[in-house]
Amino acid sequence: MIEPWRFFVVRVARMTRLSPTFVRATLTGPDLDRLADNGYDQRIKLILPIDGRGLADMPMGPDWYAQWRALPDELRNPVRTYTVRAVRPAERELDVDLALHGDIGPASRWALGARPGDTVAVLGPDAGYPGEHGGLEFSRRVGTADLATSGVLLAGDESAVPAVLSIVERLPTGVSGTAILEVPHPDDGLPVAAPPGLTVTWLARGARAHGELLAPAVLEAGARLAPVPTGVGAAGPVDTSLINTDLEYDDLWEVPGEATGRLYGWIAGESGVVMSLRRELLASGVLTRQTAAFMGYWRRGKSEG
């Protein structure tokens, strides 16, 4: 029986520095032709090696997560979530773009030291599975016909850049709107093929706090793309159930079952910043809980896994 997701043991084909912050890991393996190419914001798990042990202790069966959690800390391979940047089934290659943050975490540390031939593992969608794989929010929630008659507002920090760029490249030609990306360095703007009606704006944060540039730019863009008519207030009271400074990094994950409306919003990044934007955009009536996805990709002071 084919499961929606499976493990792929792969090796590094090449590491390409894209900008001061971003590096692309191109991975290859004999069965990567079976990795589903779903596009948009398809998530995968990247399983990193442990010094001296590689992947020897990593469980890769159906009950892998419980077995992995039960391992001693020193034998538990780091598992991190990333977005598929590109899949080339014919070449059996997968591109994963990573944001570097120095030697402060296992993923950034691995990316800085990875060399061709190094072995890692990927947990990703199996192309042989006939149903929905999961791990993908954008295209599953919004039909292209809806997008052609409404605008899109995409926004995030460097953790969301690969997902936003992948979404932009899959959008139909008639879609209009904007993508706003806050990154650490002025040279972090990456090339992307966007529809003619969609603008991509890069904001170099420098030494400023996360979200200091992103938040006002998103609020301005939302008001411009979906102005609230005079006399019309917010669509009901603001739901503050997810606005909590004590939330873990992944507690903010609100995606509409079926998004419809005059503007579709997709906003991801540091949870505190995304929670603040959620509060403002819902309170203003620019977006509603039926027209926007708000996702905390990470949380300041917390780490995944």
Q: pTM score, two decimals?
A: 0.89
**Is the model more confident about 259 or about 190?**
190
Q: Which of 12, 244, 22, 255 is nearest to 120 (CA)?
A: 12
Q: Which CATH number fits domain 5-125: 2.40.30.10, 3.20.20.140, 3.40.50.300, 3.30.870.10?
A: 2.40.30.10
What are the tens digits of pLDDT across the range 179-230? 999 999 999 999 999 999 999 999 999 999 999 999 999 999 999 998 876 5
User: How far apart, in whole angstroms, are the C-alpha atoms of residue 288 and residue 267?
Assistant: 13
- Domain(s) labelled CATH 2.40.30.10 in the chain stretch across 5-125
**Res 151: pLDDT:** 86
Average pLDDT, whole number, for the chain? Answer: 88
CB-CB neighbours of 247 under 10 Å: 16
**Res 144: pLDDT:** 52
User: How far apart, in whole angstroms, are the C-alpha atoms of residue 305 and residue 295?
Assistant: 17
- Domain(s) labelled CATH 3.40.50.80 in the chain stretch across 138-298
**Res 4: pLDDT:** 95
Lowest-confidence region among 35-49, 140-154, 282-296: 140-154
Show the 3-state SS of the chain: CCCCEEEEEEEEEEEEECCCCEEEEEEECCCHHHECCCCCCCEEEEECCECCCECCCCCCCCCHHHHHHHCCHHHCCCEEEEEEEEEEHHHCEEEEEEECCCCCCHHHHHHHHCCCCCEEEEEEEECCCCCCCCCCCHHHHCCHHHHHCCEEEEEECHHHHHHHHHHHHHCCCCCEEEEEEEECCHHHCCCCCCCCEEEEEEEECCCCCCCCCHHHHHHHHHHHHCCCCCCCCCCCCCCCCCCCCCCCCCCCEECCCCCCCCEEEEEEEEHHHHHHHHHHHHHHCCCCCCCEEEEEEECCCCCCC
Instruction: Report residue 259's pLDDT band, with 50, 70 and 90 as the boundaries.
Output: low
> Does residue 244 have a pLDDT over 70?
no
The CATH number assigned to the domain with range 138-298 reads 3.40.50.80
Q: Name the percent of the chain lying above pLDDT 70.
A: 85
